Structure 1
Amino acid sequence: MTLLDHDLGPAASTALVVRALQPLVRAEARAEAPAAGVDPADLEQSVWVRLLERPDAAGPPADAARWVRDTVRAEARRARRTARRERPYAGTEPVAGPADCPERAALGAAERRALRSAMARLPGRCPRLL
């Protein structure tokens, strides 16, 4: 019996394929992840995304084991390329502190407006005293 022997609806067919391929995908991802420098779960997830991106007309891969191996290796290569191109933030500019964030500036301005408005409503000489 192969994955293509069943004529089920698309959701049931996808669930059947996922259930059948899960051990193979997990094993291949765990084997390739250390060399790629990624978490095996991330690699496994990207393979599942590739499977779900396949057109419905294409159906499950004819040679599922080969497709899984090829896809895991392709995703591992992509992860290695991405890691080579990424550069850490050099930190040449000072990071804005909590007092410098725009939200705090807006809240501070609103508080000062409310205070001025309340002071203006005080009777007599009270505003000058404060």
Structure 2
Amino acid sequence: MDDLVELLTPILWHTARAQRADAATAEDVVQTAWVRLVERSDSISEPQAVLQWLITTVRREAWQVVRRADRVRPDEDVLDQAAPDGDPGPERSALLTEQQRLLWQHVEQLSARCREILRVIAFAERPDYAAVASALGMPVGSIGPTRGRCLHKLRTSLPSDLRWTV
């Protein structure tokens, strides 16, 4: 189980973050998903479906938590700390280099589908394309090509920005 947690937690964390959950909320959501998996471990009949179930659970839990938080604090900005999409604030500004900020600005200009795929796949050591496809509602065969197109768009947009240096 330790190996499974170590392997899948980054994917789950980025899945929660893709739903606009802040870092603390993402950690709570991922922990909740792991607890639910342990609670239901006796009913697992398809071990290959565990990743898909975890991603779906994290996604739904994150939606609920973010939706509740939006109702409670409608003016509070829930910015993605891994991918700033506005004014990053002083704490994040101190942590992010100018190049990182510029990179994430370009990522935020991509379509929602591209942002979601890149966040989930970029941080997975060995992404399970079948589970990712199911969680994102895409055919398995389109994950790789879509990822490639998204990365191509990013590679094209960055060099055209005069602020970008390699």
TM-score by length of structure 1 reads 0.43
Could you say which structure has the greater relative contact order, defined with CA pairs below 8 angstroms and 6 or more residues apart? 2
